[in-house]
């Protein structure tokens, strides 16, 4: 199923270290030539300071069992540089450990003042801490790197030339150490910085495109991620614009999030609209499944696409953990849509639409009724399911209207802000003309 594999595209927007889990996952799937994939992993890891990983990849390729002289020398150089950087930072890190026990760490300004007053802190120390954090990261020591990056975040001014790099590095390190709660905090911090920074339009678009790809890793591993990905990708206009302009393939992950999130079915209408708008640039079985079901009402097509979706998800690193949940919720969507059209349905027909045998289908429907998710009765003698009426609750109607108004308000606020900036710029330019 290499036809629908997005690894190559996704890796273009990820840090080199974030690509390794994707490439290793792909290696285990045997979609591509294993030797070529390992050679690419080796080429990529050679650009880092991860000597042990390099050696392990060489062994998997059958190149040699012993470490080549070149790698031995390089490892010695890496360790020497690492020791030198650690010695430069050691005094200030010792002071940090002492200050952690007090109240000063809670406020960055107080913390910096304490360092300057009691420990003779200088700008050179901050530069050394930044270099060490980056070097540790390049060596694959992500856990230790996060400590120094956190120190840099506290001490650095947001106007510092390295501040944005620190935010990106901290997020990457937290993702690679699987600290999803901290990663979500760092993601939110980075998004706020990008949204408020004085970037050009192109720079802001590039930053948001990278953030979108990194955030997918966080959202599908955090308990709150399924709601947050919908809010960010579908209802934050700047990020939706970035997806439509730079990375329409992200629609796969947005569609998956909506399908597996039963509490956000109200987002389906907006999602379908976007999928139809972008169908000329990107299509895959997951987006086509929704089109078949909610645009064309083609239940046979939806059934076939659901089968393809399972293969796509099974080979996608970002969403492979959602496979069983996706199949269950997609079947429920087919069932609910089918039941809105027909009041009395044979179980054998439903089984066919859901890719299940009649016995499985009947048990599945019984469980739906038992769990109060379906207003229906089963006639076992005739093998029929008789549907009851399912009016939309006033609460649900209110939620849908609020979501729609929120999106329109945000879009309108963005438009007013852009117009205001443009007007102010024109005013400044006109004064420049008169002053010259």
**Stretch 338-348: mean pLDDT, rounded?**
73
Mean pLDDT of all residues in the chain?
84
In DSSP terms, which residues pair with 384 in a beta bridge? Answer: 346, 379
Number of domains in the chain: 2
What is the domain range of residue 352? 342-387
- If asked whether residues 281 and 352 sit together in one domain, one would say no
Question: Are residue 204 and residue 308 in the same domain, yes or no?
Answer: yes
φ, ψ of residue 179 to 5 degrees: the values are -90, 80
Domain co-membership, 315 together with 362:
no
Q: Which residue has the higher pLDDT, 238 or 389?
A: 238
Q: What is the pLDDT of residues 374-384, one digit of tens each?
A: 666 677 667 77
Per-residue confidence (pLDDT) for residue 102, from 0 to 100: 46
Inside any domain, residue 89: no
| Mean of pLDDT values over 284-299 | 92
Query: Is the residue at 105 inside a domain?
Result: no
CA 227 to chain centre: 12
Q: Are residues 383 and 306 in the same domain?
A: no
pLDDT of residue 300: 86
Provide the pLDDT confidence category of residue 172 given band limits of 50, 70 and 90.
very high
Q: Is residue 35 domain-resident?
A: no
Within-domain flag for 355: yes
Q: If you average pLDDT over residues 291-312, what whole number do you get?
A: 90
223 domain-assigned: yes
HEC string for 43-99: HHHCCCCCHHHHHHHHHHCCCCCCCCHHHHHHHHHHHHHHHHHHHHHHHHHHHHHHH
Within-domain flag for 307: yes
Domain annotation covers residue 18:
no
Q: Which range is least confidently modeled, 68-77, 330-339, 422-431?
A: 422-431
What's the pLDDT score for residue 303? Answer: 87
Lowest mean pLDDT among 4-18, 138-152, 376-390: 376-390
Question: Between residues 206 and 266, which one has the greater pLDDT?
Answer: 206
Mean pLDDT within 394-415: 70
Same domain, 254 and 368: no
**Does 346 lie in the same domain as 315?**
no
Residue of higher predicted confidence among 129 and 382? 129
Q: Is the pLDDT of residue 179 over 80?
A: yes
Please report, for residues 77, 288, 299, 368, the alpha-carbon distance to residue 329 in angstroms, rounded to integers and kept in the order given: 53, 16, 15, 12
């Amino acid at each position: 199923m290499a036809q629908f594999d997005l690894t190559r595209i996704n890796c273009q927007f990820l840090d080199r270290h974030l690509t390794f889990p994707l490439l290793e996952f792909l290696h285990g799937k045997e979609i591509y030539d294993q030797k070529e994939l390992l050679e690419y992993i080796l080429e990529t890891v050679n650009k880092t300071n991860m000597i042990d990983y390099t050696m392990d990849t060489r062994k998997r390729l059958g190149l040699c069992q012993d470490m080549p002289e070149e790698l031995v020398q390089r490892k010695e150089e890496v360790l020497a540089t690492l020791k030198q950087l650690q010695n430069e930072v050691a005094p200030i890190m010792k002071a940090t450990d002492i200050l952690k026990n007090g109240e000063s760490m809670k406020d960055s300004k107080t913390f910096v003042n304490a360092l300057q007053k009691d420990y003779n802190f200088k700008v050179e120390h901050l530069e050394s801490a930044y270099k060490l954090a980056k070097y540790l990261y390049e060596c694959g020591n992500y856990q230790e790197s996060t400590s120094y990056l956190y120190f840099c975040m506290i001490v650095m001014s947001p106007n510092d030339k390295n501040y944005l790099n620190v935010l990106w590095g901290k997020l990457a390190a937290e993702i690679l150490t699987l600290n999803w709660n901290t990663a979500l905090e760092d993601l939110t911090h980075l998004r706020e910085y990008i949204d408020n920074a004085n970037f050009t339009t192109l720079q802001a678009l590039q930053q948001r495109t990278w953030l979108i790809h990194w955030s997918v890793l966080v959202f599908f591993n955090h308990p709150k991620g399924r709601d947050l990905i919908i809010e960010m990708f579908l209802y934050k206009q700047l990020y939706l614009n970035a997806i439509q302009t730079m990375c329409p393939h992200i629609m796969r992950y947005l569609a998956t999030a909506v399908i597996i999130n039963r509490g956000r079915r109200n987002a389906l209408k907006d999602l379908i609209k976007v999928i139809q708008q972008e169908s000329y640039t990107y299509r895959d079985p997951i987006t086509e499944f929704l089109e078949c079901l909610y645009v064309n009402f083609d239940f046979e097509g939806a059934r076939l696409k659901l089968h393809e979706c399972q293969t796509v998800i099974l080979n996608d690193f970002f969403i492979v953990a959602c496979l069983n949940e996706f199949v269950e919720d997609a079947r429920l969507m087919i069932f609910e849509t089918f039941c809105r059209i027909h009041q009395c349905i044979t179980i054998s027909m439903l089984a066919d639409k859901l890719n299940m045998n009649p016995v499985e289908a009947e048990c599945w429907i019984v469980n739906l009724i038992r769990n109060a998710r379906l207003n229906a009765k089963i006639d076992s003698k005739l093998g029929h399911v008789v549907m009851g009426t399912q009016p939309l609750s006033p609460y649900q109607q209110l939620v849908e209207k609020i979501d729609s108004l929120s999106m329109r308000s945000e879009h309108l606020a963005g438009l007013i802000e852009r117009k205001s900036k443009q007007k102010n710029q024109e005013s400044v330019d006109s004064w420049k003309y008169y002053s010259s």
